[in-house]
Structure 1
Amino acid sequence: MTELEARKAVRAAIGKVAPDVDAEEINDGSRLRQDLELDSLDFLRLVEIIAHDCGLDIPEQDYPAVGTIKGLVGYLAAHG
């Protein structure tokens, strides 16, 4: 998966989990829980949607690495 594909997948998943988040406010440094205000259930749903849509499982031990948009995009690009 290219970085552009990963970025599109992340934006699409966030749109499903938190449709009230303004896409223009999302940047690489955005933290999923703090800046986008995803609670723990929203975060888990985001991971599930990405797993389903991209065919990529993100194990719980990797959650700290995907806590930001940049981390999540990079993870998908590297593992997808």
Structure 2
Amino acid sequence: MKVIKKDGRTQKFDLDKIKTSIYRASDDAEQPLNESDIDNIAGDIETNIKDLKKDSVNSYVIQELVVDQLEKSGFNVLAKYYNLGNLE
């Protein structure tokens, strides 16, 4: 699957980039997550992306899916920090 970046470039989907972003947001929010939590959340996000059944996905869609999954998992503050970090 390809990701369409904000500037129009495309690149291969990389779940590790989502994990890294969640980890950084958890640090910024001062709500550290352990690796297992991040893996579980990222796995759910990956499933949601695959359920879209598309060859390419806009990065904005991925961002929304990440925020939604963080909120569903009870990490509302972390979701806010993740969203802020990806708007810069």
* TM-score, reference length from structure 2: 0.36
* TM-score, reference length from structure 1: 0.38
Larger C-alpha radius of gyration, 1 or 2? 2
Q: Taking CA–CA contacts closer than 8 Å with sequence separation of 6 or more, which of the two structures ends up with the larger relative contact order?
A: 1
